[in-house]
Structure 1
């Protein structure tokens, strides 16, 4: 990418946002922020209990991520956030208008398998249905790219960098 954008790595739980995000940040030479770190304890408690978040739970979280992205405007950065709905991405863009989105995509069996393999994460696989039900793909008018997650983290990152660079062409 020729200009330092803030890239929001988005997708349902289990797509590899936390794995690909730091790799992408390293490849772009910018800092990474883990979106889960912006959740208030009440959100983590809800998700840990298997209760999907409601929009009212997400707004403060999205505003905190947006504030971080705003602080990186013109400097670049990578932050993870499920950003499942257009309204959530709009909220992030309200704070950081130049943000671009990297939508990590994959089929449900692959993502479900990956969720089953990860350890120590508060998001149970039982919430995957609610994630897919909520997901709205990037609109044609939204700055961003979609990348399939069926490869290795390094392959996904390589494809993401190439796709993001094409946005600036």
Structure 2
């Protein structure tokens, strides 16, 4: 008899069709993470939660997140507040629910080393453009669900 493991995110099946527009992703495509953080796309959420399980086992606490999915209105507000650090509204991977921003303690020292080493195993990475010397602003806090971002970029 096979015993099913409990879902990594209760109420989230990890299925996403990719429907909607940037900043207008239907609620049915999104899943909440933990501690009341903004949701992200369901497939990205399950992968991030699996990564968080391993991170929590290592550090004794969850990955601290400051931001996730942004509606179009939230993207406009973010651009007004941080014009040099925020994508043009409608072009942000936050608007697809495929990006998170982590807290400052997560992109330094041992925690950063762990995320850089293990994030890609779960489909998450700090993109090349956001790295020191990359083509965009240096944003070590910005992480993306890489396979889904690549699919969007291919369209």
Structure with the higher fraction of residues in helix conformation: 1
Judge same fold: TM > 0.5, yes or no: no
- Quickly name the TM-score band, shorter chain normalised: under 0.3
What is the TM-score of this pair, normalised by structure 2? 0.27
